A = this chain, B = another copy of it.
């Protein structure tokens, strides 16, 4: 689940992705649609406590569930 450093804008940000479920509190989820620089959809979660950024496996069912839950969790 490592992430490229600076200049990631010009390439894919994620070198590998995490397919196992992260049970920890998610502070933010960033979604990057495919672009001229990277043909993959990339999803990066930032954990609340550690601030760690984790590249998530877009095709993993639990990732879609996490996103649906965030969307549904509105007031």
* A interface residues with partner B (beta carbon < 8 Å): 26-35, 39-41, 43, 48, 58-59, 63-64, 67, 70-71, 73-75
Contacts and interface: CB of A to CB of B under 8 A. Distances in A.
Contacts of A34: 73, 75
A74 B58 CA distance: 7
Contact of A67 (B32, B48, B67, B73): B67
29 contacts: A26-B33, A27-B32, A27-B35, A28-B30, A28-B31, A28-B32, A29-B31, A29-B33, A30-B30, A31-B31, A31-B67, A31-B70, A31-B71, A33-B70, A33-B73, A34-B73, A34-B75, A35-B48, A39-B75, A41-B70, A41-B73, A41-B74, A41-B75, A58-B71, A58-B74, A59-B74, A63-B71, A64-B71, A67-B67
